[in-house]
Amino acid sequence: MKKYLVGIALLRFESELIEKSGVSKERFHKLSGPQAKDVYYKICERYADKSKTYKNGLHWANINGYSKKSMKDFRGSYPVNYTNWYHQLTNIIPEKNMVYFLIDRGGFYDAGEKFWIFESYVKDLIQTLDLLNQTAFLDIGWSDYYIVSKKYEWLIGFNHHDVVSFIGKSLNLSGIE
């Protein structure tokens, strides 16, 4: 029953987000259950530090550090203004294709982290982030989030301390640094 309620909450969230932001479902949409699970595991495999006994996984990565392998391409963490830093995404992100957008809903890696995973074009993501920041994420509360290349070549993490972290050589950080 609990999974069913989570599914309904995600559907309502997606529907309200699309309606209020004005983006189309073709340009911003949630991933299906099996697809979301596959994407989540691929991102964790590449970026999440699973070496600690506590505060592992993707949920803690933007605060406690990413995997040793991905840290080779770590570009830095920067304090930002949470209300508008993401307006620079069109300059930061190299491709014009869709990206993954993961909203962190809490939990621990070993006990089951919870992420809502969407696919979006960058310009539509900026538009939805404007709405999310104006509405405390549609009243679900402020959430950490990740933006990830669909080829898993880079990751951008935003945490509730208003710090953005960047991993990936192809990201343009000239406006952030």
Q: Where are the domains of the chain?
A: 2-167
Q: Is the pLDDT of residue 164 over 50?
A: yes
Q: Which two tokens stand for residue 130?
A: 């404007």
Question: Mean pLDDT of all residues in the chain?
Answer: 84
Burial class from Cβ neighbours inside 10 Å (0-12, 13-18, 19+) for residue 117 reads buried
Q: Give the integer Cα–Cα distance in Å for 91 and 139.
A: 29
The pLDDT assigned to 18 comes to: 85
Per residue in 35-76, pLDDT tens?
999 999 899 889 988 776 555 677 777 777 788 899 999 999
DSSP string, the chain: -HHHHHHHHHHHHHHHHHHHH---TTTEEEPPHHHHHHHHHHHHHHHB---SSSS-HHHHHHHH-B-HHHHTTEEEEEE--TTTGGGGHHHH---SS-EEEEEE----TTT---EEEEEE-HHHHHHHHHHHHHTHHHHT----EEEEETTSS-EEEEETTTEEEEE-TT---TTT-
The pTM of the full predicted model, rounded to 2 decimals, is 0.89
Q: For residue 112, give every residue at least 6 positions away whose Cβ sits within 8 Å of its Cβ, in sequence order, or none.
A: none
Q: pLDDT > 70: what percent of the chain?
A: 86
The pLDDT assigned to 5 comes to: 40
Per residue in 70-120, pLDDT tens?
999 999 999 999 889 999 999 999 778 899 999 887 665 555 678 889 999
Phi-psi region of 79 (alpha: psi -120 to 50; beta: other; left: phi over 0): beta
Q: Reading across the β-sheet that carries 155-159, which strands appear in turn? A: 28-30, 115-120, 99-104, 145-149, 155-159, 163-167, 74-79
Q: Is the pLDDT of residue 33 over 90?
A: no
